[in-house]
Structure 1
Amino acid sequence: MTGTLISLISIVIGIISANIFGKFYENYTFGFKGNTLIGVFGSVLLIKTFGRLGFDPWSIMNDGDFDAFRLAINLLVSALGGVLGLLLAKKIYLKLNK
């Protein structure tokens, strides 16, 4: 597994988590396209921020070794980023449309 593949999997996890959260909580949805975009950006933002602590894809593939614990943390943070991105976008949307 390469760092690029891990990055792509993280982004897909963010997309899936944002769409599933939007499906279960109808108040926070922006439709499929909106949830997908927010999932991508929320996931990337949180992964980039959290990756500075050593959970970025290239740290997971440290010199050819594979660290499953770091991958699990990376995927969990990616899913959390998709959900938090959706919550933040809805909060901003409601503030601007008051």
Structure 2
Amino acid sequence: MTGTLIALISILVGIIAANGFGYTVKKYSFGIMGNTIVGVFGSVFLIKSFGRLGFDPWSIMNNEDFVGLRLVINIVVSALGGVVGLILAKLLYNKIN
């Protein structure tokens, strides 16, 4: 795996988490397209800020040595970023309207 592939996988996990959460909890849903957009931005934002601690894709592939625990943490944080992004976007949407 390369760092770019890991980054794409973590973005995909954020999209799936946001759409899954929006599907199960209709209160926070923006529809498929809205959930996808919020999932991308929430996932990327949380991964970028959490990646400073050493969980970014290039730290996972440390000198061509694969660290599985960092990958699992990266995927969990990415899913959490999609869900939290969806909740925050809905709260902001309700506050504006």
Q: Taking structure 1 as the reference length, what is the TM-score of the superposition?
A: 0.99
Amino acid at match of 1:22: G
1:6 matches 2:6: yes
Q: Cα RMSD over matched residues? A: 0.2
Deviations 1:8-44 (A, max 9, x none): 0000000000000000000000000000000000000
Partner of residue 90, structure 1:
90
Q: For structure 2, list consecutive stretches of 5 or more residues without a partner in the other structure.
A: none
Residues matched between the structures, number? 97
More strand by share: 2
Letter in 2 for 1:59: S
Q: Which runs of 4+ in 1 moved over 3 A?
A: none
Q: Which residue of 2 aligns with 1:75?
A: 75
The within-5 A match list for 1:1-98 is: 1-97=1-97
Distance in 2, matches of 1:84 and 1:18, equals: 8
Note the residue ranges of structure 1 that are not aligned, 5 or more in a row: none
Percentage of matched positions with identical amino acids: 68
